[in-house]
Every structure is written in structure tokens, then in C-alpha cells.
Amino acid sequence: MDRISDIVLTLAATGGLSAAAHWDAAATESVLLAYKEFIDTEVAPGNGPADRAGCRIVDGRVRVPSPLPQTYKSYVDLGWHLLPLPVSIGGIGAPSPICCAGAELLAGANHAFQMLVGLVPGAIGVIERFGTQAQQDALIPELTAGTTLATMCLTEADAGSDLGAIRTSGTRNEAGEWTLSGEKIFISGGDQDLSDAIVHLVLARTGAPAEGVKGLSLFACHAQRSDGSRNSIEVVRIEEKLGLHASPTCQLRFAGADAQLLGQPGDGLKAMFVMMNHARLDVAMQGVAHAAQAHALASAYADQRRQGGRVIARHGDVARMLAEMDALTLGARAMGYRAAALLEDADLAAFLTPVCKAFCTDTASRVADLGIQVLGGYGYLPEYGMEQIWRDARVTRLYEGTNGVLAMTLVRRLLGGASETAFLEEIDQALSLSSSTQAHTGLAQLRADWMAAAAAVRAIPEPGMVAAPLMALTGLLYFGACWVRLEAAQISGEQAERMARLGQFVRDALLPDAAALRIRCQAPRRTENEDG
Amino acid sequence: MDRISDIVLTLAATGGLSAAAHWDAAATESVLLAYKEFIDTEVAPGNGPADRAGCRIVDGRVRVPSPLPQTYKSYVDLGWHLLPLPVSIGGIGAPSPICCAGAELLAGANHAFQMLVGLVPGAIGVIERFGTQAQQDALIPELTAGTTLATMCLTEADAGSDLGAIRTSGTRNEAGEWTLSGEKIFISGGDQDLSDAIVHLVLARTGAPAEGVKGLSLFACHAQRSDGSRNSIEVVRIEEKLGLHASPTCQLRFAGADAQLLGQPGDGLKAMFVMMNHARLDVAMQGVAHAAQAHALASAYADQRRQGGRVIARHGDVARMLAEMDALTLGARAMGYRAAALLEDADLAAFLTPVCKAFCTDTASRVADLGIQVLGGYGYLPEYGMEQIWRDARVTRLYEGTNGVLAMTLVRRLLGGASETAFLEEIDQALSLSSSTQAHTGLAQLRADWMAAAAAVRAIPEPGMVAAPLMALTGLLYFGACWVRLEAAQISGEQAERMARLGQFVRDALLPDAAALRIRCQAPRRTENEDG
């Protein structure tokens, strides 16, 4: 089954298509087919070569490897950067779930490239919501034109998961102009030579250190000043990494750099979360992208590689791995699209965003790992591309909040509140759509397992030791609910048979993990080392 | 707790120490301490640099990166290569479990180096068992002296898991002399510049292709002829790989190379399996080595890295990850030592070797993956060493039989026979040692889960789809049994408290997976693609 058919089917099954004629199934399919043709021709071929070449610093500036600058030129010339941007500012205005589909196609072909260009829609959203009219008028046109790309500058050496420890400071002079001083690390695309200009969205302290996250404000900080001179931002280094060698991960030193405050002092975290929730769903889609790519590669390999007189796709254990990869990919994709379709519901989005980010990225590693195993020894060699998927996918579980930090958010902030209520309603809605008794029973059992586990976790004062199993179970429940939607999709023929077969496989082979996860959540013990 | 204490405790708990004074706890500890000092000083420091430098071919010969040649010189000069060799040929004659401990220490410090030197004991075993006296007299002294290293040449481009398809041929001339012709791929250490000479043990066809594996024979083939000239063996290429860059993975072309037949024509597979079982247990220990190394690194990092005012080792989810890493490492190590202690029991060894290989190597990937997660973004950077562990460990699930092939062996050949009986007796022996009611109940439940799953798998004609879950459950059962031995160890104080705490964690957090695996084995469905 080809990728675009799967995507359109999944969009339809998860409420991701719009009733409006612009974005019905047929229109969406034709847009995505055209986008995929561009990606296959212009973006995908550079993925391996750019990773092998890597980034470097020349005269203090980052050079990303060929062909990414040329790729970016085509991307902008053909207007594909406009796909996720609002119509009001000259964009194409694709609905969020369709933007997710686009992000999946782009990230699957070239994760590094997608990261370089991917923060623009989120940055525009922040500027629209928090910027003054003058700031919007100044910043949005250059982002829409593609001459400027955006970054997100949060992390510092001693402030990773703990943003309250941020020390980069914003200072206002007598004329009311702000400057930034401090060092940020792990800044993706912190410098590059794709776009003429870069605007950094920087989280910095304007209050006292004791205020923690409440003393943080968000700034827009151009790499160039309006007179064309370089702003006081130095690229200290770029990181060597396990993967994503074509994505420059920068350490930036702001040394009294000119900047503009977005919103009010102290609004920093609130503004950053607007961008962060967008970014987290994007990361979930990077996970789906790697899973889909790994499955496509492994499936093609297994259909031609012969062993013992037949293709290995027909060997029992390989067939099991391929089914697992396919079912995981389809379900994770449905989770991402469904979450995107529900973004306007703030309570639900607060719950679904971390759950989808954690599940889809864990799934990416799992599917890529299976992909290596399907290829056997060849999976360990670069020429098949599987090992790059495995390396590149690994970072998605670490950035935009490690999956462990997200699990702690789930048990500490989301259980027992309005978000949980909204989540259970969403599960119940899927239950009501069940297309068979087995599908209904399977999901109802999973929901019961989750309720028991969540109750057990809520009952202990320091749930840290069972945060990860509860997060895994939560992801599995939502995965099961989205699979119920896929099985209930109005399709026929080969597609319907495949969904029915994989739906059964999901119940037989994937949902049983719930039994183990429930027991883990119900049997917590604190180790001697744990404080919480 | 330091590594050597853990190792000696585990040897004692698994019957790995000998009653003889040479290898009691005190003597073993002092030998291993000395070996570890050598390894820490001379082997470990080269691990990262050699991986970054990689191997290359110069004038048709492989050059391994510095400092491995110097490391090998020290290794032989100090006589450490003699540790696993029999006393009868001048070796130190450490018992198998203690050899496993040595292999773990060496592979943990430098997997590539351990691979380069690791096949000698197995090669000597094959030569002693299948070689003529003249062959033994010729080959064994050079291997014992360290002037010669050994390789194992099985795989061909179209004969990976399917040895019956091997096409490299052995031909005898009128004088009764053999020559080899054909190409072998994925030959670890197929050429190198550590030792003066190399002897390849080559599986080649002496019968008709239609005979499959029965037409295979084993040959010893020196890289140099006795007159000092190069034998007709060409290094066609070395593979670029995801990891293990310091280990040369060679494609070798045998073009009428002079060779000696070991044993009788047609004995090839039988002879190879003598070496293979040894190699598979070695691979299991490579898995343990990576797990132990990842846990040590992560634990040290988490004890110094502060976040939110306290070290992250005390954050709930990090504490959970560290406990999981520690418990998995200890149990996997115990499995390896115990299997080594039982190697003489052929039925039991046939069962335990693939189970330990699969479980210990899957554990290596899992623990290394957790290790990256503990380090967060820093886990993705090379300077902490964790990403190399993750990359290097990945190959252990692919070579010496992919873990999927081993799972198929379990369901097709080992279930229901003498090996299964021996395995269950081994489990029952552990049950009888249980030091607490919880330990006994936990293992008894696990055994019952396994019996139910195995019965379900035996009842279906084509069990390929459930081979992997049954293998995982089998590994978990043996892991649980070995943990019962660890908890029953005669220790006190801090060590005893740690074992009791981790033993409880094993029951709370790791053994529950059995519930899911049993359900998976009991609900098999064949996909449309599966033949078996």
C-alpha cells in the first residue's frame, strides 16, 4: 500500500480532513502527491550524502552540507514553505493534521532539513499572539517570504529539563531597548547558510533568579541588525552527534545582542509553550516519519531477499517483524493526526501532546530497531540507509522534553484533572465507533487496565518509579483507540483486508503489553535512591 | 558496588567458582583484579580513539587503528591471552565461567579488540577435537604463542542464515592437497596487523550443492604459506559500519588458497558448531559487557548531574532507569556464567546457549538505550561514550545467528525434546534454592506462564509469528531463575541489601512482562504473508 493512500485513509479516519472542498480527500491527496514528488526528487536524495558530509564552521559561520542550501532554494521557490502558514499572511493554510502529514513526508526524507525549516510556523504563531502590530509587520513578512528562518533558544548548560535555572538575561537600557547576554546550547539550526537571515526566539531572564520560571521572558533576536551588521551573537561550537549530522546543533553566545521583547516581561514560558506544543507534535511526526521510512525500506528488502528458497518476508519471524512495524506506524500516525485535529481543545491538547510525542518517538526507535533486525547484517551497514534512520530517530526521544520528563508531567500534572476527563471522553468516543465486538472488547479492556493503573499511581505520593510505565500504558491506550478508528474507516478491498488483518495483529501482539504495564504500575516500590 | 565484587558474587551464586584452590573466590578475585587493572590501563583508553580512526586498507592489507597493535603486544607479553587456554598446551586454564568474566571485562573496555583476539580459544577447541596430531602440533603452538590469531569464515553474500547455500568450494588435487575458492563476507578480523599470522577456519563445500549443509567441510587456511609467501586470499573490501569501526569486517576472496581439511569431508557443520557455541556465549558476554559499561557510565553521570537542586539519580524516573539497568545487567551476567558452568551438559547447553545469546544481547541494547536516556541530550554526543556503547552493542543481536534465527531454532528444534527437559530441571533447581516466599512464588508463576506459552506454541504447525515472544519469555524465565540464585547468595551487609532491593524490583517491574508474552504466544494469528 503506498504511503499517500495510507495517509489519506488515516486523515479520513481521524477527523483530519476538512469538510471544505479545499481539503477534502481528493484535494488533500493531490496536494500531498505533488509534495511527495518534490520531496522524492529534491529532498530525499541529499539525506545520506549530507549526513556523511556533516556541518562545519568556516570563519565563525556554520556551513550546512550540500545539497541542503540548494534544496532550500527549491523548497521556497516552489512555495512549499507556505503549506502550513495561515492564509491571512499569504500562506496556503493547510489544516493542522494535513500539516502533520506534510511534516511526516519531509522529515522521513530528510530529518535534518525538516528541522532547519520546521520552526517557522510555530514562530509565526508566537509572534501573532504575543507580538505588537509593529513586531508582526516587521517579522512575519520575512518569515513568510522564506528569507528568514527561526530557532528556539531554551537550553543552557545547567538548565536542560529545568528551565527555572536559566541564566541568560535580558536587560533594558534607558531608551527602552533590550539586549541579551548569556549562552545557549543545543540550538538546532542556531546558525546556517540556507536563509539570508535568522530570527532567534530566546527565553531569557528579566526578573530575579529567585523568581524561577516566572522571571522568564521571550525575545526575538535577529542574527543581523537592521543596518546589516552582525548582531552580537557568536557561534561557539557545533556539536558532534550520534546522528543528524546535517543539522547544526549550536552553542550560541549572546553578548549584549539587540533583541525585542515579545509580550510582557514574565510571559516567557507561556509564549514558549505555544511554540513548544507545536514543536512537540512535530517531533511526534518525526517519529512517525522514521517508522514509516524504516517499514518501507524493510518491506522492500524482505520482498526481494531470498533465503532457503523463498523471500524472507514469508519467513515467520520476519513476517512478525514487518507486521509489527506496519501496525505501529499506522497507529502512531493516526495518533499524531488525531491530536492535531484536536489542538483547539486546550485541556485535551495538554494531555495528548506529551503522550503522542513520547509514544510516537519511542515507536520510531522500536520500528527502526526492527528494521535493522529484518536486514540482518546488512542493517548494520550504511548503504541500506536503515542505520541512519536508527541514529536520527534516537534524538526525538531526547529533545523537546525527554520522554522521561514528559512521563513525570503526566503523573504530576495531568492525572485527575480536566485533561484526564477530556482524554477519557476521547477514548469513549473511539469505543462508540468500534466496528466489531473484538475491537470494542479489546479497547474496553485496555481502558479498564488504564483506569486501574492510573488509580494505583495516583494513590502513591512519589510516583516517579512508575511514571514511565504509566506513560507507556497511556500511549498504548490511545494507540488502541486510534486503531479502532482505523478499523472503522469506510474503505473496501485490499485496504480493508489489510486493516482488518493488522487490527487483529494489534490485539494479539501489541495490546497485551497492557497486562504487564498495569501490573508494573500497581506494584510500585521506592528504591533507596528515590526522592520522588 | 564495584564490578569485580559483582562478578565474584555472581560466579559464586551460579556455581562458576571451582572447588580447587586455584579458582576459589579469593584467587579468582585477585586474577580478575589484575586483569582489570591491565584492561583499564592499556585497553580501555584506546576504545574511543580507535573507533573514531577506523580501519583502512593499505597496499591490499588491513591496518587496524592505533593503539590496537601496541595493545595486542602488551596483551601477549603479559600473557593475558593464555587465561582461557587449556593448561595442557601451556595456558592458564581458567574455568569457562571465569573466562566469561574475563571476556566481559575485555569486551566492555574495547569490543573491537576483544573480537580480534576472541576466537583463539574456540579455534583451538576445534583443532584439538577434529585435527590430526600433525595438524595440532603445527597449529596450536602458534596460536598459544600469540603470533597467530584466528577467524571464522562462514557467511557468503547469498548464504547468511542459510548455510546450505554456501558456494565456496574445497578441491583436492592428485597429491591429496586441498585448495579453497570462493568469497566470504562479514569476516571479523579477516585481515589485521596485530599478529604475524592468521589462520582462517573456513566452511566450504566438498560435496555437491544438492547435499546442502551435509556437503560442507571445515578447513584451516593460513593467510601465509609455509614458505612465507602470501596465500591466495585477497581482501576485497572492509565494510563501513554503524559501529565497531576498529574491528575490520572483511570480504575475502579465496582464489585457490592452500588449506588443510579438519576432520572428515562432511564434518564441517558439526565442527563449526563446536566453535559457534563457544562464540555465541562470548557474544552473550559482549552483551553483558555493554550493559555493565552503560550502567556504570549512567550511574556515575546521574550521581553528579544536578537538576532542580538535587542529583538526578534521585529523580524518580532516573532512579527507575538506573534500577532497570542494574537489575538487567546483574541477571544477564548470572545467565552467562551459569550457562558457561553447564557447558558440558550437551542437551542443556544446546538450549541455554541461544537463549542466553538472545537475551543478553537484547538486554545490551535495552540498557544502552536507557543509558542514553539517563544522559538526556548529552547521551547523543560522543564525548560521554554512551552512544558508542549503543552502536557497538547493536551488532551482537545480528551476528553469530540473528536473534530471530535463534528464536526459530528454539521453537523448531528445542521445544519438546531432551533439551527442554534439561532446561526445566535447571529451573526447578533454582526454584528449590529460593530464599523467600516472594522469590519462589515469582519464579513459579513465571514457570507456569512459560509452560502455558510453550504448549500453545507447540500446538500450532507454523509457529514463526510467535517464535520471538516465546524466546523473550524463555529468556525472562531463565533471567528470573538466575535472579533467584543471586538473591540466595551467601552475602551480607550492603551487597545483601542491594540484592534484596533489586530482586524486589525485578519482580515488580521486569517479570510482569511475562503476562504480556504469554498472551502473545497464546493468541497466534498467521498473517497473509507467512509460510512458517
The predicted model scores a pTM of 0.96
Q: What is the pLDDT of residues A303-341, one digit of tens each?
A: 999 988 899 999 999 999 999 999 999 999 999 999 999
Looking at the complex, does the CB of residue B209 fall below 8 Å from at least one CB of chain A? no
How is residue A157 annotated by DSSP?
A: T
Number of neighbouring beta carbons within 10 Å of residue A345: 15
Beta bridge partners of B202: B153, B219
- How far the first Cα of chain A sits from its last, in Å, is 47
C-alpha cell at B56: 583502512
* B394: chain A residues, CB-CB within 8 Å: 372, 380, 390
Where do the structural domains in chain B lie, given as residue ranges? 3-127, 148-265, 402-526
Nearest CA to A354 out of A456, A472, A272, A511 is that of A472
pLDDT of A319: 96
Q: What is the pLDDT of residues A423-441, one digit of tens each?
A: 999 999 999 999 999 999 9
Of A526 and B288, which is predicted with more confidence?
A: B288
Nearest CA to B390 out of A232, A393, A465, A200 is that of A393
Q: Is B173 exposed, middle or buried (0-12, 13-18, 19+ CB in 10 A)?
A: exposed
Contact call for A529 and B394, based on CB within 8 A: no
B515 CA to chain A: closest CA distance, Å? Answer: 6
Contact call for A527 and B161, based on CB within 8 A: no
Looking at the complex, does the CB of residue B179 fall below 8 Å from at least one CB of chain A? no
Nearest CA to A473 out of A520, A507, A431, A509 is that of A520
C-alpha cell at A484: 479502532
CB-based burial, A308-320: b 16+ in 10 Å, e otherwise: eeebbbbbbbbbb
Q: Is B460 exposed, middle or buried (0-12, 13-18, 19+ CB in 10 A)?
A: middle
Q: How far apart are CA A363 and CA A386, in angstroms?
A: 15
Long-range contacts of A206-212 (CB under 8 A, 24+ apart): A206/A169, A206/A170, A206/A172, A206/A261, A206/A265, A206/A266, A206/A268, A207/A265, A207/A266, A209/A167, A212/A164
* B295: chain A residues, CB-CB within 8 Å: none
pLDDT of A323: 97
Mean pLDDT of A495-515: 96
Phi, psi of B248 (to 5 degrees): -75, 115
Mean pLDDT of A330-353: 96
Of A242, A466, A468, Cβ closest to residue B380: A242
pLDDT at A217 over 90: yes
* B381: chain A residues, CB-CB within 8 Å: 239-242
Q: Which of A400, A426, A462, A494 is catalytic?
A: A400
Instruction: Give the three-state DSSP class for B9.
Output: helix
pLDDT at A182 over 80: yes
Mean pLDDT of A224-244: 95
Q: How far apart are CA A286 and CA A281, in angstroms?
A: 9
Given a contact cutoff of 8 angstroms between Cβ atoms, the answer to whether B85 and B92 are in contact is: yes
Rg (CA), chain A: 23
Divide the 532 residues of chain B into consecutive groups of 10 and give the mean pLDDT of each group.
Answer: 92 88 91 98 98 97 98 98 97 96 98 97 95 97 98 90 89 96 97 97 93 93 93 97 98 98 94 84 97 98 92 95 98 98 94 98 98 97 96 97 96 96 98 96 98 96 94 98 96 92 97 97 62 46
Q: Which alpha helices (DSSP H) does A96-237 contain, by range?
A: 96-109, 111-117, 120-130, 133-145
pLDDT of A532: 42
* A310: chain B residues, CB-CB within 8 Å: 531
pLDDT of B461: 87
* Full 3-state SS string of B243-310: CCCCCCEEEEEEEEEEEEEECCCCCHHHHHHHHHHHHHHHHHHHHHHHHHHHHHHHHHHHHHCEECCE
Q: What is the pLDDT of residues A24-75, one digit of tens each?
A: 999 999 999 999 999 999 999 999 999 999 999 999 999 999 999 999 999 9
β-strand pairing of A306-307 with A310-311: antiparallel
pLDDT of B1: 55
Which listed CATH number (1.20.1740.10, 1.10.510.10, 2.120.10.90, 2.40.110.20) goes with A148-265?
A: 2.40.110.20
Window B:449-488, CB contacts with A under 8 Å: 462-469
* A528 belongs to the catalytic site: no
Looking at the complex, does the CB of residue B501 fall below 8 Å from at least one CB of chain A? yes
In chain A, the residue whose alpha carbon lies closest to the alpha carbon of B163 is A308
Q: How far apart are CA A113 and CA A67, in angstroms?
A: 10
Given a contact cutoff of 8 angstroms between Cβ atoms, the answer to whether A189 and A149 are in contact is: yes
Of A314, A381, A398, Cβ closest to residue B529: A314
Of B242, B377, B514, Cβ closest to residue A387: B242
> Which value does ipTM take for this structure?
0.96
Mean pLDDT of A507-516: 97
pLDDT at A370 over 90: yes
Contact call for A523 and B508, based on CB within 8 A: yes
Q: Which residue out of A154, A317, A441 would a mutagenesis test of the B interface target, given it has the greatest number of B Cβ atoms within 10 Å? A: A317
Which listed CATH number (3.40.50.2300, 2.40.50.100, 1.10.540.10, 1.20.20.10) goes with B3-127?
A: 1.10.540.10
pLDDT at A467 over 60: yes
pLDDT of A527: 44
Q: Which residue out of A213, A320, A405, A499 would a mutagenesis test of the B interface target, given it has the greatest number of B Cβ atoms within 10 Å? A: A320
In chain B, the residue whose alpha carbon lies closest to the alpha carbon of A374 is B404
pLDDT at A160 over 80: no
Q: Which alpha helices (DSSP H) does B376-511 contain, by range?
A: 386-394, 403-409, 418-433, 437-458, 464-487, 493-505
